[in-house]
Amino acid sequence: MKVTAFIRKTSAKNNVTDLARVYFRVRDIGGVDIKAASELSINPNHWSADKQGYKPRVALVSEEKRMNFDRDIQQITHLITKEYYRGVDGNWLKGLIEEYHHPNINARGGNKAEEYHLVYQISRYIAENNLADDSYKHHLGNIDKISRYERFQREVLHRRGFKLCIDTVTADDLREFKNWLQEEHNLAGQYPLFYKDVQKQKYEQIRSENSITGYFYRIRTVIKWCIKRGLTRNNPFDQYQITQPMYGDPFYLTLEERDKVYYADLSGLGATYPVYRDIFMFQCLIGCRVSDLNRLTKANIVDGCVEYIPQKTKLEHANTVRVPLNRKALDILERYKDLEDALLPRFSHFGYNKKIKEILKYAGIDRMVRVLDPKTREDVARPLYEVATTHTARKTFIGNLYKQVKDPNLIASMSGHSEGSRAFARYRKIDDEMKKELVNLLD
């Protein structure tokens, strides 16, 4: 068995500011080859691969710092050699190095382990920061996913004591987590006992690349917050590039398709479907986000308009959005006038999305639209009912308005988009109808 310390980074000859993480590698007969990162770092130009420590003559670095660094390398190497046994894996090595840097991290009843746990720090972040409702829920979603991933590693893959900790999480850990997120929809069939108590909506759908990018943006935010507070100097995102989000052109219901759904006889589907149709149609008529829709009360109706402050952007600017209600919207509200306070019946986000797809399919909204495949990110054709979500209602409001009035500022004042929003810019795609109008000017 052989233990080796190494670095993975190089620097320009005269660069004395870059730092590279020190990794430890264990090789043994039988194909054993495992690696894990330590918390030690060194300028690549100061590293001696032969000596596995500082080069003999390094200016600008004190003798005490060189000695302490070399001593840590030797002690970790000795610890690994002493504790090694056949059958260990990368998680064992990672945990052993973690215990060297934080001797009390696994002590019963101690706070050290909890403090360095990524899930714990996410919970502290949302407790200590004033977040919009959507952001708060997204961070809670990350806690749920990371906790389930850790439990999967411990219970299914038998990685004893596995946890993602802010001081030791690496870019490789992030890649493994991403792979698990991409494959979780397949795992329930392979490990039914593990998933028997997990709600299906938490794992059964394929996660899009854009969704996963959002998860990692939020994890990176928490890591940077921990670094700023002096809890760690470890930033795995230095070596991990988050995939950039990609968005296709927005698709939405035409006014004809919207009215087809509005007037459709849904009696053949069941008693709850007309209610969900009303909720979806009302959202199509006022254009709010689903998080705002579910919060509306009768107090939000002022002089024939719905007024609200969008939750997503309230911390950036608390502008009031005011949208006049047309006849269709008022007729929908009339059907629910007996509700005590809520404007419309309350609903779950997941259940709402599912009902939208079923209602549109039943109503024959099967026009083919171009969307990005969530796994391949390739442009593919899908029936509109198959890819419709709560956000389709918002796009229907904005897209149809823009076809009638080419004034982005006026529309943004009713959609709640921030000034200069990149998201809003996607709604401005000129469609074939608008192209024909322009060409006819030359006739």
Q: CATH code at 350? A: 1.10.443.10
Judgement on whether residues 82 and 140 belong to the same structural domain of the protein: no
Domain that holds residue 218: 113-236
Q: What is the mean pLDDT of the chain?
A: 85
Question: In this model, does residue 175 exceed pLDDT 60?
Answer: yes
Q: What is the DSSP letter of 325?
A: -
In three-state secondary structure terms, 6 is strand
Judgement on whether residues 172 and 93 belong to the same structural domain of the protein: no
* pLDDT reported for residue 380: 87
Judgement on whether residues 42 and 157 belong to the same structural domain of the protein: no
Q: What is the DSSP letter of 339?
A: S
Residue 194: band (very low, low, confident or very high) from pLDDT cuts 50, 70, 90: very high
* pLDDT reported for residue 272: 92
Position 227 in a domain: yes
Name the domain boundary from 236, 269, 300: 236
In three-state secondary structure terms, 380 is strand
The structure tokens 């394929």 sit at 206
Residues 6+ away with beta carbon under 8 Å from 228: none
Q: What percent of the chain has pLDDT over 70?
A: 87
The enclosing H or E element of 258 equals helix 255-262
Packed helices 209-228 and 133-155: angle between N→C axes, nearest 10 degrees: 100
Burial of 419 (0-12, 13-18, 19+ CB in 10 A): exposed
Residues 6+ away with beta carbon under 8 Å from 10: 44
**Rounded Cα gap, residues 373 and 49, in angstroms:** 45
Position 241 in a domain: no
Rg of the chain (C-alpha set) = 28
Position 151 in a domain: yes
Mean pLDDT of the region 54-70: 85
pTM confidence score: 0.56
**Rounded Cα gap, residues 275 and 108, in angstroms:** 52
Judgement on whether residues 224 and 264 belong to the same structural domain of the protein: no
Position 247 in a domain: no
Dmax (CA) for the chain in angstroms is 87
Question: In this model, does residue 384 exceed pLDDT 60?
Answer: yes
The enclosing H or E element of 284 equals helix 273-286
Mean pLDDT of the region 364-377: 82
The number of distinct structural domains making up the chain is 3
Judgement on whether residues 177 and 213 belong to the same structural domain of the protein: yes
Judgement on whether residues 126 and 91 belong to the same structural domain of the protein: no
Distance from the Cα of residue 357 to its chain's centroid? 23
Position 242 in a domain: no
Position 270 in a domain: yes
Residue 104: band (very low, low, confident or very high) from pLDDT cuts 50, 70, 90: low
Mean pLDDT of the region 346-368: 91
Judgement on whether residues 231 and 263 belong to the same structural domain of the protein: no
Judgement on whether residues 118 and 94 belong to the same structural domain of the protein: no
Per-residue burial over 73-110, b = 16 or more CB atoms within 10 Å of its CB, e = otherwise:
beebbebbeeebeeebebbbbbbbbbebebeebeeeee
Whether residue 26 contacts residue 3, with contact meaning beta carbons closer than 8 Å, is answered with: yes
Whether residue 362 contacts residue 269, with contact meaning beta carbons closer than 8 Å, is answered with: yes
Name the domain boundary from 108, 131, 149: 108
Residue bearing the bigger pLDDT, 109 or 290: 290
Residue 230: CATH number of its domain: 1.10.150
Judgement on whether residues 195 and 96 belong to the same structural domain of the protein: no
CA within 13 Å, CB half, 27: 3
In three-state secondary structure terms, 27 is strand
The tokens describing 274, both together, are 């007309």
The tokens describing 20, both together, are 């590279």
pLDDT tens string 328-352: 999 999 999 999 899 999 888 778 9
Judgement on whether residues 138 and 205 belong to the same structural domain of the protein: yes
Position 152 in a domain: yes
Position 243 in a domain: no
Judgement on whether residues 93 and 57 belong to the same structural domain of the protein: yes
In this structure, of 44-58, 113-127, 212-226, 422-436, the range with the lowest mean pLDDT score is: 422-436
List, as own/partner pairs, every contact residues 431-435 make where C-beta atoms lie below 8 angstroms and the sequence separation is at least 24, other chains included: 431/403, 433/403, 434/403
Mean pLDDT of the region 52-65: 84
Whether residue 307 contacts residue 300, with contact meaning beta carbons closer than 8 Å, is answered with: yes
Distance from the Cα of residue 121 to its chain's centroid? 16
* pLDDT reported for residue 110: 39
The tokens describing 421, both together, are 């929003």
The tokens describing 191, both together, are 């490990």
Residue 163 vs residues 189, 222, 231, 335: alpha-carbon distances, Å = 24, 16, 17, 51
Name the domain boundary from 84, 108, 132: 108
Nearest by Cα to 341 from 277, 298, 291:
298
Question: In this model, does residue 424 exceed pLDDT 70?
Answer: no
Size (the chain), residues: 443
DSSP assignment string, 174-220: HHHHHHHHHHHHHHHHH-HHHHTTS-GGGTSSPPPHHHHHHHHHHHH
Judgement on whether residues 365 and 263 belong to the same structural domain of the protein: yes
